[in-house]
Amino acid sequence: MNRVVALVLVAVLAITGCGRRRERQATELRYVLPSDTTGLSQGAALLTRIEPYREPGGALRIRGNVTFPDGVRIQVSVYRKGTQQMLGRIQVLTADHRFDSPPIFGDHGPLPRGDYRFEVLSLFNKAWQTEDVMRRTQDGLALRGPGMTRDPVGGASFYLVMERTL
């Protein structure tokens, strides 16, 4: 009986060990964003002015005008142009259709003069916006204009990129 069990075990190992091992090739990671099927990006500009500027001490700040209601949270990320190197990120709230950031500093003080990319983002979900903002903008879906789009889970979001030399 032990001999039969041993032969069966050897046969199973031989069958499973035969053939070449095929390594699975990693598939490319892709992000698929829902298309704008509701016309969110159609309409007048929501970000009507954005102005990166420097304080006398060299600190970078960003101000702008928007047609968002008061209290909308906007995030601005600053990158060195042509790279994915983020140099700073701030969040501001709109008031009277305006925003103005606090000073943005790098690891070693004011950001040096150069070419920068600014990414402006606002998500319209309950984690980012107040209940009042969500109600007044109908979860962001009442906002229409360039930069309005859908986030990966189908919610409204605002995203624009600009490049400047400062």
List, in sequence order, every residue forming a beta bridge with 49; answer none if it has no partner. 65
> Could you tell me if 116 and 166 are in contact, meaning their C-beta atoms sit under 8 angstroms apart?
yes
The residue count of the chain comes to 166
User: Which residues is 61 bridged to in the sheet?
Assistant: 53
Give the C-alpha separation, 105 to 88, whole Å.
7
End-to-end CA gap in the chain: 85
On the question of pLDDT at 33 being above 90, the answer is: no
What average pLDDT does the segment 109-124 reach?
94
The token pair that represents 131 in the structure block: 């209940």
Question: Domains, the chain, ranges and CATH?
Answer: 47-165 (2.60.40.10)
For 122-148, what is each residue's pLDDT tens digit? 999 999 999 999 999 999 999 999 999
Determine the Cα–Cα distance for residues 129 and 74; give it in Å rounded to an integer. 9
What distance in Å separates the CA atoms of residue 78 and residue 117, rounded to the nearest whole number? 6
Least confident of 4-8, 60-64, 102-106, 142-146: 4-8
Using CA atoms, how far apart are residues 132 and 141, in angstroms rounded to an integer? 14
Quickly count: other Cβ atoms within 10 Å of residue 119's Cβ.
15
Q: Which two tokens stand for residue 104?
A: 């943005």
